[in-house]
A = this chain, B = another copy of it.
Amino acid sequence: MVSISPSVLAQLEGQVIELPSWAFGNSGTRFKVFGTPGTPRTIQEKISDAAQVHQVTGLSPKVALHIPWDKVEDYSALREFAGDKGLALGTVNSNTFQDDAYKFGSLTHLDPKVRQMAIDHHFDCIDIMHATGSADLKIWLADGTNYPGQGDIRGRQDRLAESLAAIYARLGENQRLVLEYKFFEPAFYHTDVPDWGTSYAQVAALGDKAMVCLDTGHHAPGTNIEFIVAQLLRLGKLGSFDFNSRFYADDDLIVGAADPFQLFRILYEVIRGGGYGPDSTVAFMLDQCHNVEEKIPGQIRSVLNVQEMTARALSVDRTALTAAQEAGDVLGANGIMMDAFYSDVRTDLAAWRESRGLPADPMKAFAASGYQAKIAADRVGGTQAGWGA
How far in angstroms is the closest Cβ of chain B from A364? 11
A342–B334 CB distance below 8 A: no
In the complex, A344 Cα to B249 Cα: how many Å? 31
Q: Which A residues between 253 and 281 are near B, CB-CB below 8 angstroms?
A: 253-254, 257-262, 265, 269, 272-273
Which residue of the partner chain, among B147, B292, B343, contacts A253 with CB atoms under 8 Å? Answer: B147
Total identical chains: 4
Given contacts A261-B259, A344-B342, contact A231 B334 (CB under 8 A): no
Contact A186 B330, beta carbon cutoff 8 Å: no
Choose one: B149, B185, B334; the contact of A334 (CB below 8 Å).
Answer: B149
Interface residue tally for chain A (C-beta within 8 Å): 104
Digitize A318-335: 1 where CB-to-B-CB distance is under 8 Å, 0 elsewhere: 000110111010110111
- Give A223 Cβ to nearest chain B Cβ, in Å: 6
CB nearest to A199 among chain B residues: B197
Q: Are B249 and A185 in contact (CB under 8 A)?
A: yes
B-facing mask of A295-326, CB < 8 A → 1, else 0?
00110010000001000000000000110111
Q: How far does the alpha carbon of A355 sit from the alpha carbon of B336 in the complex, in Å?
A: 26
Chain B, residue nearest A293 (CB): B330
Q: What is the bound-complex CA distance between A313 and B253, given in angstroms? A: 22
Q: Which among B146, B186, B259, B269 is the interface contact of A154 at CB below 8 angstroms?
A: B269
